[in-house]
Amino acid sequence: MNLNLTGVHLDVTPAIRAYVVAKLDRVTRHFDHVIDVNVVLSVDKLRHRAEANVHLRGHQIHAEAIEPDMYASIDALSDKLDRQVLKHKEKVSAHRADRDVIDHTLATGVPPGQPAE
């Protein structure tokens, strides 16, 4: 996984970088096919914003979180990304399971779970 971390009106310190990497490790633990992640951290007065674009094979996931604290916004961002990646993973696996059922039915002429006559 390639990580591109950018700060707007913010210096990205090694502590913030390590925190982002630790939080985004959860995303890669759930789904191995993450190609790269672009994270933009910005500060506007009292609004700390964290945005991320996750590039998967054939799919893009975008999430954004705005909180009064930068670490809280990174936490909220990682939670949102985690939910979206799990949802995408379930869709991909469900699509694959449907395809296996169709392939079995075409090969044998009998749907799975049905007794052969």
Each as own residue / partner, the long-range contacts of residues 50-53 (CB below 8 Å, 24 or more positions apart, any chain) are 50/74, 50/76, 50/77, 51/77, 52/24, 52/77, 52/81
Q: Which helix (H) or strand (E) holds 30?
A: helix 14-30
Question: Does residue 108 carry a pLDDT above 90?
Answer: no
The set of residues, in sequence order, having a beta carbon less than 8 Å from that of 75 and lying 6+ positions away, is 23
Round to whole Å and give the CA distance between 59 and 46. Answer: 33
The 10s digit of each residue's pLDDT in 84-106 is: 988 888 887 776 655 555 656 66
Average pLDDT score over residue span 45-58: 91
Higher pLDDT, 4 or 27: 4
The 10s digit of each residue's pLDDT in 8-33 is: 999 999 999 999 999 988 887 877 77
Average pLDDT score over residue span 66-92: 91
What angle, 0 to 180 degrees and rounded to 10, lies between the N-to-C axes of helices 14-30 and 70-108? 20
Round to whole Å and give the CA distance between 49 and 74. Answer: 8
Q: On the CB side of 87, how many CA atoms lie within 13 Å of its CA?
A: 9
Domain ranges in the chain? 2-82
**pLDDT-derived band of residue 115, with 50, 70 and 90 as boundaries?**
low
Question: Does residue 117 carry a pLDDT above 60?
Answer: no
The architecture (CATH level 2) of 2-82 comes to 2-Layer Sandwich (3.30)
